[in-house]
């Protein structure tokens, strides 16, 4: 599980949480590398783990819709 928060003056204004729910294609050669993540909003995003956590965090934050 990964949680990303944006804080201003020590107060969270946006938070997004995701859980790895497994590989995109279980039959592919790179099973461990390309995974699906279920966000707290119910959305699902794909992420290549070798790209790193920062890339995943950016993808998660991109799902936030500002009013």
Rounded to whole angstroms, the Cα distance separating 12 from 22 reads 29
pTM of the model: 0.84
pLDDT digits (tens, 9 = 90+) for 3-60: 999 999 999 999 999 999 988 876 666 556 789 999 999 999 999 999 999 999 999 9
Q: Within a 10 A sphere around the Cβ of 16, how many other Cβ atoms?
A: 20
**What does the block give as tokens for 28?**
């592919």
CB 12 within 8 A of CB 4: no
Q: Where are the domains of the chain?
A: 2-62
Residues written for the chain: 67
């Amino acid at each position: 599980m990964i949680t990303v928060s944006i804080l201003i003056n020590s107060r969270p204004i946006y938070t997004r949480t995701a859980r790895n729910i497994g590989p995109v294609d279980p039959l592919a050669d790179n099973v461990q590398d390309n995974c699906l993540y279920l966000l707290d909003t119910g959305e699902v995003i794909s992420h290549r783990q070798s790209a790193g956590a920062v890339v995943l965090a950016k993808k998660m934050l991109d799902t936030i819709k500002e009013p």
